[in-house]
Structure 1
Amino acid sequence: MFKAIASAQVLGWKRAMTDFANSVGWDMRDKPEFEQIQSIVLEVIKKLGRKFSRSVNDLIGIQPRVQALEDKLRLSSNSDDVQVLGIWGMKGIGKTTHAAVLYDKISHRFHASCFIEDVNKLYRDGGHTAVQKQIIHQTLRENIDMSNPIEISGIVENRLHSIKVLIVLDNVDELEQLENLAIKPKLLLKGSRMVITTTDEHILKAYEGDVLIHKLPLLNDADARELFCRKAFKYEDQSSNCSALIHEVLKYAQCLPLAIRVLGSFLCTRDADEWRDGTEKVKAIVLNKKEEMSECIVDGLSRMKELTLLILYHTRVSGRLEFLSDRLQYLLWHDYPFASLPPYFTASNIVELNMPNSHIRHLWEGRKSCPNLKRIDLSNSKDLSETPDFSRIIKLERLDLSGCTSLSYVHSSIGLLKKLAFLNLRNCCNLVSIDFGCVGNMSSLRVLHLSGCSKLESTPDFTRATHLEYLDMDGCTSLSTIHQSIGVLSNLTFLSLRKCQELVSIPNDINFLVSLQTLDLYGSFNRMHPIPGQGYMSHLEYLNRTNPILRQAFSSHLVSLIFLDISYCNLKEVPDAIGELRCLERLNLEGNKFVSIPDSFRQLHCLAYLNLSHCYLLKSLPDLPNEGDKSGGKYFKTVSGSRDHRSGFYLFDCPNVSRDRLEFVGLERFFHLIKEPCNFRCGFDLVLPWNMGVRPVFGETFLRNSIIRILRCGINDNWIGFGFFVIFRKITVGGSPPHSSFSSLHPLYLSFESEYTEECFDMRLNLKRDQSYGSIWIIYISREHCHFVKTGAHITFKAQPNVVINEWGMRPILKQDISDSKEQKYIKFSKLNHDHVDFEYVKKSNRGSGPKIQLPYNWYVTEEEQVENIDAKAKENNLSNAGL
């Protein structure tokens, strides 16, 4: 074999093989093979990973700056501590670029890494879950298709904290953007690193843990000059005839890299004369928290004749503002520091004037013509003492003066604003009056906020605002009268007079508010005379509790009422006329003193929620409606977040009602609600009095704190959901309550515990008094929400120390149960076979000792429910966005 090869060459091979055999390598003996393979791969990546994806040589002065950042992270030390590095500085200084180069240089040293660019935009567009999904995708190489924020946070907490990771979060604008990510630096695996870039140093100081804060400096003169020449001349040697102007340009740019690149590109190919007047061509400026720019802003604005857009966030300035371009169309200036706008600013082109939290005392002197101005926002301008004359601002659509605590009156010319749709005077606590004038025309006004105007004594004349839909006077504690003209508001859907303690009367014409859906008079009846009959308020949908109108509220005119809460109103009788509320879906009578309920209850075919708890004197119940109405479920379609509101039937602490009667009525309601799924979402529940010694016929029964899990469900397609029950009693715990791991705000809940989460179906009742007898809580969960059947979750009931659990049980609800309930005189469940459900007892939870992420049981949202909730939210936002 070696005949054709020189012997010297063979000897060389032999020596090489000997040296290789004696070299130090990875000893695989007595070590897990996968760990050694991982070490080899990481070492190879480390040797190959020093090639940057970005051309560092094209970035002027970047290498020593990145090296300084790397040194702060102490990657070369033997320390396994988790380090958090915060890089801050003004926008355009190069924070993202420095973080990106640093990431390219060091990411190969970690098991996983992510670079989340522009966290602020991601957060603004999709919330913190959008940021978390990006982190999971880049670090774990997984795409998660879920929308529940608590579950997503659980993945971040439980999986990201178990690997050595590099996390770079670019452009963090608010502290909550960090806090909501569920990333705890102290819990990250040893050796992990976080890098955060921001314009706000306070975010880094407030973030948990010891953040190494690094302020990124501006370019030095040499680097600034080199960058400018590269952009302006396309090579590094500056043109001789422009040399004298370079110093002026760099002084103007103040060595800010972004400004230098923009000016250099703008002046490229232009001659010296064009350089001199170049700054006068600037048409827009956007600055966000740039304290370093504060001294040059005022002087610079005076030369910008073509400026059309100016956005300044929390920017500190000095000197006097003498000039703003007459071409300015949009001005957004948070914390505007001056008492008024410049006297020679014509405002002839301005469309939006947004100056929240400003130091404005008055916008300008006298009348000013603003033919294009549509929106003014001076909210929380504490020094504002007067509004402008509005007579020449004819196109104004939205005016926000909320929180202007020095404002005592609004110029009467406001009544001339016929295009004004939104007027917000909330929390103008020194506002004494508001006058729309006798010749005004506010036909476009839809929303009027007057809540918190504690010195307001009377309302305006509404004659000229006939299209008003939303009127909020919550907390107007000095308001004594309401103008008689309120009756002309035929489009009014919302009227709040909460806590108007000095209110003496409400005009008779309130009867003509034919579109009224919400009337809130909470706390406003101390001095109030009886309210006149309800007249034509036929569209009233929500009527809040404790209003004096309630005793007369059961009227045949309230044909669209869907939610009525009259709990704890000292009500001694429920009128027969309540049966006329045919659309009523939710009725809360809790804590009242009536003895019986009228038979007319049978006519409430849409009723899905009935609370009679703590009605201590209640002795008898009528038959409740057992036939549904196809028009039901309106409540869930009109109120956003309503899927969190429980449907059911509650008779806790009603000791005088016959137990036998309650069992029949309760189970009748149970099957009635199952047959009407439009009236609940993931499920519903019932609470009834119960004899502790009687065991319900309800499938499998378990003692007290037993924990079980389902092994197999053999009922195929014959089931529609699962039912659970628990028998309990409220007691008094002597002294301080014993230590308990119970973490729910509610007294009792059904628990489904998995490895990382615990889903809780809470009892949402106030168990006020101790019981000498027991109660039973019955729960139904619809099939599409019964994921515990497949996941093997540990199932049990948990209670606060003052609630004693006697026993609990569960069973599948079969289609046969529903059909039998229609035919049988007495309601009961069908008999189960032993092969319907297989389960096993769990002696002790082995789901891990760490804290669980608690989820409400209805966290899962079907596509139909999601669309429904979005539509309801859109309806609620419609009025809030009037004039936008």
Structure 2
Amino acid sequence: MADDGITLPQYQVFINFRGDELRKSFVGFLVKPMIFGKINVFTDEIELKGTDLQNLFARIEESRVAVAIFSERYTESRWCLDELVKMKELMEEGKLVVIPVFYRLSATACKNLEGAFGDKFRKLNWEYRSEPERIMKWEEALVSVSNNIGLSLNVQSDESKFVDTIVEHVKRVLLVTLTKERENSKNQNKETFTDRTITGEREEPDTTPRFGVEQRLKQLEEKLQFGYEQTRFVGVVGMLGIGKTTLAKMLYEKWEDKFKSGMFFPDVGTMSKEHGLDWLQKRLMQELLKDIRPNIGYTENAHEFWKDDLLSRKVFVVLDDVSGKKQIKFLLGKRDWIKKGSKIVITSSNESLLQDLVNDTYEVPRLNSRDSLQCFTNHAFGLDYAKGKFMKLSRNILDYAKGNPLALKALGVELRGKDEAYWEQRIGTLTQRSNKMIQDVLSRRYDELTRGQKDAFLDVACFFKSENANFVRCLVDSCDSEAWDDMRDLTDKFLVSISGCRVEMHDMLCTFAKELASQALAKNTGIQFRLWNHQDIICVLKNKLEIKNVRGFFLDMSEVPGIMSVDAKIFSSMCNLLYLKIYSSAFLQEGKADFKIGISEELQLPLDKVMYLHWLKYPLEKLPSDFNAKKLVNLELPYSSIKQVWDGVKETPNLKWVDLSNSRKLNNLSGLSNAQNLERLNLEGCTSLVNLLQEMENMKSLIFLNMRRCKRLKFLPVMKLSSLKILILSNCSKLQEFEVISENLEALYLDGTALKELPPATGNLERLSILNLKGCELLESLPECLGKQKALEELILSGCSKLESVPKDIENMRYLRILLLDGTRIKETPEIYSLQRLCLSRNNAMVRLQGNISQLYRLKWLDLKNCENLRYLPTLPPNLEFFDAHGCERLESVANPLALRMMTEQIRSTFLFTNCNNLEQDARDDISSYAQWKCHRLALECYDRGVVSGASFNLCYPGFEVPSWFNHQAVGSVLEPKLQLRWCNNRLSGIALCAVVSFHDNEYPIDTFSVKCRIQLENEEGPPISLDCDVGELREPGKIESDHVFIGYASCLHLEKRLEDQYSGNNSIHTKAFLEFYVNDACKSEVVNCGISLVYAEPHHVPVEANPYISSSKKSGGWLDDLLGYIFLSFFCVIVFAPHYYLRFLKFFWPLVAIFLCLLAIGLFMEWKDGKPKQQKRSQTHGT
């Protein structure tokens, strides 16, 4: 059964069954003939042994075929169902064939969970109700597997014959499966090695082309505009190994037949070096004119000489791996020889070469995760997937390769055939040792760099990867005026990237660069050394090695074992040191850093060239006197023991960034007096600092000043810092006076200070966009001039407990977006029409909001939490995304409507009235009415705009009843409405859900809380459809004091589409629905009542009343039954309660009987008409 090219798994067949029901009977009979037929079979002994389920999953992954034996007691076992979920996953990935066997059980009962089989499953669900996702996976697996072609054994069947049937069927499936694998293995192992002068695949040798290439090919074709008679020059660029050559080669092979002449010119850069530019031009002319000029030789100015011949034909030329502009200009000349409609493609790893030479550029993207996995596993295993633990290990490779085909192929080839231990060891060294194939490709490119570019490349890899780009630029610019040009060149060559304002480098390149730096240190080559590996540094420190030519020294103290004393003269010999950093990666992650280096007071730092000095927890009281700061750009001594920076005043013409944060002993800044070019100064947490230097006025470039938590600071000196944009004085708790020290301030943080008032000059800050006064408890008023601030966008007054009003002119602020007034005593809210966020929480002075708040059309966030005296809520603005009135204990009434009813683009919103226990019933009805309208409005908006997902509405208020407009209701948490045919064909857009939650008088506050609903739609034949919906959630709600009603809306346009697909076929329609509401919280809250309504996108239709196609669980006969009931009741009342009018009644008896019979006939006709589609559908189903 196996081929030489296929390695048989440990187990070919895995049997999934209910152990104690079938192990000693049917399964025992089944295993013996399989073993006799040379089938490696595994039966589940796990339930008896209690072994880890993961071992069982490994056996499933090793198998080719799985047999799932469904019996009556199958759904008692979570083991069986977990196995089945794993089997379904592998089946969907094409890695396993699953054969269902129905042992004395019908396939329908298995699919629809009927009878004892379904009862046992529901019982198991109840036991694992805290794991809803697991239950859902069980259900999906049961349905999915039971839909496969299977084998059935009924009560009358012969078991022995049935066993033989299963064995033969399994053999056939195994034969087909192994044959396919054999063919795939042969195809995938055919690797073609073509000479680079023909294929041009020097940069990315044999990168398998099919992974993700179709999409890239299509994108490149669009840029070339093959369908138009236009000449197009397109550059194909990207990092080394990304697949430029492969893509260009495939493009050429696809389109070369559509042109009179063409050429794929491989490896132009190398060919130019080896043969010269003249040879390149001659070779191109020979290829383009070979059909009419077979013996063409070198001709000076060949384009002009052969121009007439060339203009007679459209050409398609690919110039691959170009390394210089001269190559392009020499090959293409003036371009006047190129006929209209020709296409020219140029691939290069240097984007700057193509500037002004092409019409458009296509950057080849990295492979996505799926294509990356296939590319790697194809080279590692000869398959499109990995098995068992190798899948997890493969993910580590993918994280390292980051979608680069060269890295994926090279590492796949290296790891092919190796065992798990080797994989783990190699993954551990990925960032330390390059792959040989990758090394060869990168070495050639590295050798082409200039000395400055090489330095920049190695510096980024060893020191500055993921650092701020502006910071790196400041450093390199100070070192050499052309250094940043070198960095830009590396970016153009895709060796370095600037992403999110940070300097980044691919891990493959970073490993290669660090390996080069390590080799330089080991060989003592004489070039500048870079010390960043903690083991190398520890060796230098312990052995007191004198290394003169050190460029950078980066030591991570978290890697140092134990405390190590350092010689005071260790840095004396490093006269060329540019970058010195002693830090702790653990401190960044955990906020803890043990100082593990012992330094004496006699430390020497005679560093004349140092530009960057970062020393976390520097242990001495100042920097040594021999420290030379002339070239210093960045000084960082956070959490240090310094009292002053250095003795006296030093020349610091290049100093731009200083960080002395949390240096609690610092009390003297005189050392920075001459730092006139300083741009950023961070003094946060310097608790001994009493005042600032008057000489700081000379810092004309200072943009950022942070003095947060300088608790002894009482005032600022009178000075002008013309460039200062950001001033942070947060939590300077003794600061009582504030002077404006810059009229160009854009952000001013005075929160947590002791200010009683702001100076009038605050009104002159025309560029101020953020003013934070949070927690200024002594602040009683704001200057009227503050209202003249035209640029202000955020005004934060939270916790200003004495503040009773804001300036009148504040309403003229056209750009104010955020206004936080929580914890103040402001009684009236200002009318600021630009507001998007307004917070009034914890305001006990406010009794009611102003009625014109509804006109704030841009307001999206309104917070009224714990406004204990608020009694009335006016109509709210229409675009609110979030409204919170939690804990407004005296709130009694709300306006009707709750919010302006108008067309908006807002499709997500939340309204919370938790713990508003004094709300009158009319107010609760108004809130519920708004929810009904909002659901209808969302239905219309989503249906008309085609918004499939993302639309939601959530509302919560105290109550214990489901609103009457929910036409399907039930006591408890489960609802099972019946739906008629075509119930979703009448512009169904969403589902309105309601749950009443009892909190059982919880004594402890709730941290997080959410209500969800799981919906399952079923039919008699097709698979069920499941979806989960959010009903509502509370974030940090605290203690909830009563039952609450949660109403939510969920869009279901995607559901409608899935159902429409079934309507178009002959499948039966989902007419059964099962809904279960559940609560996620740490307390024992529960759903006590629930309800739903289907919401239709009908402009003039009350959306959540019963649709004609819905059969409500509350209404069995509809309006006809009600009418007939009234008629019978009337007859009964007349006969029983009015006997003395009996004779008079006989005169009208027969006319009434006639009317009754007519109504009955009409009703029967309508019932017959309504049931006709159902009969037709049933007949079609039987016919099928």
TM-score normalized by the length of structure 2: 0.43
Q: What is residue 707 of structure 2 aligned with on the other side?
A: 425
Checking the alignment, whether the CA contact within 8 Å between 1:609 and 1:648 is kept in structure 2 is yes
Question: Matches of residues 334-733 of structure 1 in structure 2 within 5 Å?
Answer: 334-388=616-670, 390-435=672-717, 437-438=718-719, 440=720, 442-459=721-738, 461-462=739-740, 464-476=741-753, 478-526=754-802, 531-535=806-810, 536-548=812-824, 550-555=826-831, 558-570=832-844, 571-590=846-865, 591-598=867-874, 601=875, 604-612=877-885, 614=888, 616-628=890-902, 647-648=910-911, 650=913, 652-658=916-922, 660-673=925-938, 681-688=950-957, 692=961, 696-706=964-974, 715=984, 718-728=987-997, 731-732=1000-1001
Checking the alignment, whether the CA contact within 8 Å between 2:520 and 2:527 is kept in structure 1 is no
Shift of residue 307 of structure 1?
Answer: 1.3
Distance (whole Å) between structure 2 residues aligned to residue 551 and residue 269 of structure 1: 72
Q: Judging changes above 3 Å, is the alpha-carbon distance between structure 1 residues 170 and 519 closer, same or farther for their aligned structure 2 residues? A: farther
Q: Judging changes above 3 Å, is the alpha-carbon distance between structure 1 residues 283 and 665 closer, same or farther for their aligned structure 2 residues? A: closer
Distance (whole Å) between structure 2 residues aligned to residue 378 and residue 828 of structure 1: 64
Secondary structure of the residue aligned to 1:32 is: strand
Q: Judging changes above 3 Å, is the alpha-carbon distance between structure 1 residues 612 and 354 closer, same or farther for their aligned structure 2 residues? A: closer
Shift of residue 715 of structure 1?
Answer: 2.9
Distance (whole Å) between structure 1 residues aligned to residue 1105 and residue 1092 of structure 2: 12
Checking the alignment, whether the CA contact within 8 Å between 1:670 and 1:686 is kept in structure 2 is no
Shift of residue 404 of structure 1?
Answer: 1.7
Write 1 or 2 for the structure with the bigger share of helix.
2
- Given residue 327 of structure 1, which amino acid in structure 2 is its aligned partner? K
Shift of residue 831 of structure 1?
Answer: 0.8
Q: Judging changes above 3 Å, is the alpha-carbon distance between structure 1 residues 780 and 513 closer, same or farther for their aligned structure 2 residues? A: same
Q: Which runs of 5+ in 1 are unaligned?
A: 1-24, 41-103, 127-133, 142-162, 174-256, 271-275, 637-642, 738-742, 838-884
Distance (whole Å) between structure 1 residues aligned to residue 660 and residue 892 of structure 2: 55
Shift of residue 561 of structure 1?
Answer: 0.9
Shift of residue 493 of structure 1?
Answer: 2.2
Distance (whole Å) between structure 2 residues aligned to residue 572 and residue 661 of structure 1: 20
Q: Judging changes above 3 Å, is the alpha-carbon distance between structure 1 residues 169 and 621 closer, same or farther for their aligned structure 2 residues? A: farther
Deviations, residues 434-477 of structure 1 (Å, cap 9, x unaligned): 22x33x3x233222221122222222x22x4222222222222x
Checking the alignment, whether the CA contact within 8 Å between 1:748 and 1:803 is kept in structure 2 is no
- Given residue 686 of structure 1, which amino acid in structure 2 is its aligned partner? L
Distance (whole Å) between structure 2 residues aligned to residue 269 and residue 480 of structure 1: 62
Shift of residue 763 of structure 1?
Answer: 2.9
Shift of residue 548 of structure 1?
Answer: 3.7
Distance (whole Å) between structure 1 residues aligned to residue 648 and residue 879 of structure 2: 59
- Given residue 467 of structure 1, which amino acid in structure 2 is its aligned partner? N
Checking the alignment, whether the CA contact within 8 Å between 1:283 and 1:308 is kept in structure 2 is yes
- Given residue 706 of structure 2, which amino acid in structure 1 is its aligned partner? N
Distance (whole Å) between structure 1 residues aligned to residue 61 and residue 767 of structure 2: 73
Distance (whole Å) between structure 2 residues aligned to residue 411 and residue 509 of structure 1: 30
Deviations, residues 31-53 of structure 1 (Å, cap 9, x unaligned): 5299699599xxxxxxxxxxxxx
Shift of residue 115 of structure 1?
Answer: 5.7
Q: Judging changes above 3 Å, is the alpha-carbon distance between structure 1 residues 833 and 313 closer, same or farther for their aligned structure 2 residues? A: same
Q: Judging changes above 3 Å, is the alpha-carbon distance between structure 1 residues 586 and 269 closer, same or farther for their aligned structure 2 residues? A: closer
Distance (whole Å) between structure 2 residues aligned to residue 661 and residue 615 of structure 1: 18
Q: Judging changes above 3 Å, is the alpha-carbon distance between structure 1 residues 497 and 744 closer, same or farther for their aligned structure 2 residues? A: closer
Checking the alignment, whether the CA contact within 8 Å between 2:690 and 2:712 is kept in structure 1 is yes
Q: Judging changes above 3 Å, is the alpha-carbon distance between structure 1 residues 802 and 297 closer, same or farther for their aligned structure 2 residues? A: same
Distance (whole Å) between structure 2 residues aligned to residue 351 and residue 472 of structure 1: 27
- Given residue 734 of structure 2, which amino acid in structure 1 is its aligned partner? K
Checking the alignment, whether the CA contact within 8 Å between 1:715 and 1:836 is kept in structure 2 is no
- The count of corresponding residues between Structure 1 and Structure 2 is 587
- Given residue 490 of structure 1, which amino acid in structure 2 is its aligned partner? E
Deviations, residues 456-507 of structure 1 (Å, cap 9, x unaligned): 2222x22x4222222222222x333433321122222222222222334433
Q: Which runs of 5+ in 2 are unaligned?
A: 1-34, 44-57, 65-379, 381-385, 403-407, 416-420, 432-514, 529-543, 585-595, 1017-1025, 1060-1069, 1114-1184
Checking the alignment, whether the CA contact within 8 Å between 2:1014 and 2:1076 is kept in structure 1 is yes
Checking the alignment, whether the CA contact within 8 Å between 2:939 and 2:1097 is kept in structure 1 is no
- Given residue 656 of structure 1, which amino acid in structure 2 is its aligned partner? E
Q: 1:316 aligns with which of 569, 591, 597?
A: 597
Checking the alignment, whether the CA contact within 8 Å between 1:375 and 1:396 is kept in structure 2 is yes
Question: Matches of residues 105-116 of structure 1 in structure 2 within 5 Å?
Answer: 111-112=389-390
- Given residue 475 of structure 1, which amino acid in structure 2 is its aligned partner? G
Secondary structure of the residue aligned to 1:574 is: coil
Shift of residue 595 of structure 1?
Answer: 4.2
Secondary structure of the residue aligned to 1:511 is: helix
Q: Judging changes above 3 Å, is the alpha-carbon distance between structure 1 residues 687 and 280 closer, same or farther for their aligned structure 2 residues? A: closer
Q: 2:607 aligns with which of 325, 339, 343?
A: 325
Distance (whole Å) between structure 2 residues aligned to residue 563 and residue 577 of structure 1: 16
- Given residue 483 of structure 1, which amino acid in structure 2 is its aligned partner? P
Deviations, residues 535-559 of structure 1 (Å, cap 9, x unaligned): 443433222243547323323xx12
Checking the alignment, whether the CA contact within 8 Å between 1:713 and 1:789 is kept in structure 2 is no
Checking the alignment, whether the CA contact within 8 Å between 1:402 and 1:428 is kept in structure 2 is yes
Distance (whole Å) between structure 2 residues aligned to residue 583 and residue 316 of structure 1: 57
Question: Matches of residues 835-850 of structure 1 in structure 2 within 5 Å?
Answer: none
Distance (whole Å) between structure 2 residues aligned to residue 768 and residue 269 of structure 1: 68
Deviations, residues 347-388 of structure 1 (Å, cap 9, x unaligned): 111111122222222112333221111111111222222223
Distance (whole Å) between structure 2 residues aligned to residue 330 and residue 757 of structure 1: 56
Q: Judging changes above 3 Å, is the alpha-carbon distance between structure 1 residues 665 and 32 closer, same or farther for their aligned structure 2 residues? A: closer
Asked if 1:750 corresponds to 2:1023, the answer is no
Q: Percent identity?
A: 22
- Given residue 562 of structure 1, which amino acid in structure 2 is its aligned partner? Q
Shift of residue 786 of structure 1?
Answer: 7.2
Q: What is residue 1033 of structure 2 aligned with on the other side?
A: 763
Shift of residue 812 of structure 1?
Answer: 3.7
Q: Judging changes above 3 Å, is the alpha-carbon distance between structure 1 residues 117 and 579 closer, same or farther for their aligned structure 2 residues? A: closer
Distance (whole Å) between structure 1 residues aligned to residue 920 and residue 1109 of structure 2: 37
Secondary structure of the residue aligned to 2:524 is: helix
Q: What is residue 547 of structure 2 aligned with on the other side?
A: 279
Structure of greater Rg: 2
Distance (whole Å) between structure 2 residues aligned to residue 362 and residue 832 of structure 1: 83
Distance (whole Å) between structure 1 residues aligned to residue 910 and residue 990 of structure 2: 16
Shift of residue 796 of structure 1?
Answer: 1.9
Checking the alignment, whether the CA contact within 8 Å between 1:117 and 1:171 is kept in structure 2 is no
Q: Judging changes above 3 Å, is the alpha-carbon distance between structure 1 residues 760 and 621 closer, same or farther for their aligned structure 2 residues? A: closer
